[in-house]
């Protein structure tokens, strides 16, 4: 049993086409049957009149003149012979024309019928005229003729059904496709266009509901981000005051612990503000960047501070992106690699299709369990086994990187390397040499 089509367009097309073709077929069948019945009745009536007239003419003609009239009385489907005809076979299935001959000549003549072997239906009716001369009516019944324009008409009607079905399905499914596309492209990092509120009332209602939902979600997320940013910002002042007060304390173990706790709080607040900013729509203008020079500048900044960061060999590519956001994104990934692996390498690869590129930050650290690769980009998610609080991690570094990648129109993808370590890959939408 074949599966039911999965898409709504396929299902609607199948239902519409099946119902229209069935209705059209029934209508055409009834019309054809009615036409066939009418034409058959008319043909048999003409056949009866012609048989009656022809036999009457032959009866009144002298025997010597009858052969000359046979050609005049001949018709496309039947003719007359002044002989015994062919032997033939016993007739088992008499066509309707046999009944017409019986009804016309039966009361006046003794009739007999024989089937004649042939490639098409063929029979002969035998009788004797009043003077005893044999007469054979040679009949080749024809099938109801088919108008030559009828197949073209059927094909035209079928094409019209297909076009109308396509238009109806397209009109019905297009709003759903637009709605699905709008939902799929919903991005909280930028201003999303509103769905057009036009068309049938149901479509307008769905578009209005989606636009309202989009605005409520955007307002809710913005409120949460603003709340996080406000709390993080306001905490900086009391933390600074507390650090100043601790500085005036006598040296002791408690002072060192308080300093450590305050430093961790300060770092957490700083990361919270950074995450809030990364969640806001980016206002930086995109520009053309020489990627090799851009990455070399970033790598040399790390080397100048004594941190082991290496840029692998790459082509001189020209990309269109927002340089400050891209720099913050790569800096987050490099800091993450240096923190947990002690070293980092940067590699650039072109996509196979040539429609994009990936910037990879590679390390040789402990990596991340495969089951948790999708979790570590969530805010405040931390891997206690490999990335403990002693390292100063807040669980926001990769979340900020993922937000920045989305704001650049790309994505962040994490994977474990076969030789050990983590590969943090930034997928950018386009590149050109």
Query: Which domain-ending residue is among 139, 158, 186?
Result: 139
CATH of the domain at 290: 3.30.565.10
Distance between CA atoms of 357 and 429, rounded to whole angstroms?
7
**Long-range CB contacts (within 8 A, 24+) of 348-355:** 348/291, 348/295, 348/312, 348/314, 348/315, 348/317, 350/315, 350/317, 350/431, 355/429, 355/430
Please check whether residue 1 lies inside any domain of the structure. no
The 3-state DSSP composition of the chain as helix, strand, coil percent (nearest 5) reads 55, 15, 35
> For residue 227, what pLDDT is reported?
72
Provide CB contacts within 8 A for 125, sequence distance 6+.
98, 101, 105, 111, 112, 113, 136, 137, 139
Higher pLDDT, 393 or 223: 223
Please check whether residue 65 lies inside any domain of the structure. yes
pLDDT tens for each residue of 189-220: 566 777 777 777 777 788 888 888 888 877 77
Tokens 């369990």 found at: 369
Please check whether residue 269 lies inside any domain of the structure. no
Give the chain's mean pLDDT: 80
Please check whether residue 59 lies inside any domain of the structure. yes
Q: Is the pLDDT of residue 386 over 50?
A: no
CATH of the domain at 75: 3.30.450
The boundaries of the domain holding residue 414 are: 284-428
Strand partners, 135: 127
Distance between CA atoms of 28 and 247, rounded to whole angstroms?
99
Q: Is the pLDDT of residue 353 over 70?
A: no
pLDDT tens for each residue of 331-349: 989 988 888 888 999 998 8
Please check whether residue 198 lies inside any domain of the structure. no
Cα distances (angstroms) measured from residue 274 to each of 71, 396, 411: 108, 9, 18
Please check whether residue 272 lies inside any domain of the structure. no
Share of the chain above pLDDT 70, in %: 86
Please check whether residue 259 lies inside any domain of the structure. no
Please check whether residue 156 lies inside any domain of the structure. no
Domain total in the chain:
2
pTM: 0.48
Query: Which domain-ending residue is among 139, 154, 187?
Result: 139
Query: Which domain-ending residue is among 119, 139, 159?
Result: 139
pLDDT tens for each residue of 261-311: 887 777 777 766 666 666 655 567 888 888 889 999 999 998 888 899 998
């Amino acid at each position: 049993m074949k599966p039911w089509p999965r898409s709504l367009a396929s299902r609607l097309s199948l239902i519409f086409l099946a119902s229209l073709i069935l209705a059209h077929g029934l209508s055409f069948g009834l019309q054809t049957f009615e036409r066939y019945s009418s034409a058959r009745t008319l043909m048999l009536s003409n056949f009866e009149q012609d048989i009656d007239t022809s036999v009457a003419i032959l009866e009144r003609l002298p025997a010597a003149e009858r052969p000359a009239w046979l050609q005049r009385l001949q018709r496309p489907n039947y003719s007359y012979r002044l002989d015994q005809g062919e032997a033939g076979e016993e007739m088992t299935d008499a066509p309707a024309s046999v009944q017409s001959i019986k009804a016309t000549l039966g009361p006046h003549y003794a009739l007999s019928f024989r089937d004649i072997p042939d490639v098409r239906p063929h029979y002969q009716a035998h009788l004797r005229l009043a003077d005893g001369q044999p007469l054979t009516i040679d009949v080749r019944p024809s099938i109801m003729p088919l108008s030559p324009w009828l197949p073209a008409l059927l094909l035209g009607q079928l094409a019209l059904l297909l076009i109308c079905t396509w238009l109806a399905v397209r009109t019905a499914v297009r709003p759903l496709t637009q709605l699905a596309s709008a939902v799929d492209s919903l991005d909280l990092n930028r201003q999303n266009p509103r769905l057009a509120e036009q068309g049938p009332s149901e479509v307008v209602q769905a578009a209005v509901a989606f636009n309202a939902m989009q605005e409520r979600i955007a307002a809710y997320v913005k409120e949460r981000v603003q709340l996080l940013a406000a709390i993080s910002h306001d905490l900086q002042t009391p933390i600074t005051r507390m650090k100043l007060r601790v500085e005036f304390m006598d040296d002791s173990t408690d002072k060192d612990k308080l300093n450590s706790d305050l430093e961790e709080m300060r770092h957490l607040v700083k990361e919270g503000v950074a995450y809030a900013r990364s969640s806001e729509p980016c206002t930086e203008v995109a520009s053309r960047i020489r990627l090799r020079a851009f990455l070399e500048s970033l790598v040399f900044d790390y080397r100048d501070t004594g941190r082991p960061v290496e840029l692998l060999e790459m082509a001189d590519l020209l990309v269109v992106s927002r340089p400050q956001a891209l720099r913050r994104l790569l800096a987050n990934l490099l800091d993450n690699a240096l923190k947990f692996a002690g070293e980092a390498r940067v590699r650039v690869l072109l996509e196979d299709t040539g429609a994009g590129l990936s910037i990879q930050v590679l390390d040789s650290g402990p990596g991340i369990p495969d089951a948790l690769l999708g979790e570590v980009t969530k805010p405040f998610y931390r891997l206690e086994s490999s990335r403990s609080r002693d390292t100063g991690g807040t669980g926001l570094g990769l979340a900020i990187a993922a937000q920045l990648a989305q704001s650049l129109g790309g994505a962040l993808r994490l994977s474990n390397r076969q030789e050990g370590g983590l590969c943090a890959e930034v997928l950018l939408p386009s590149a050109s040499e």
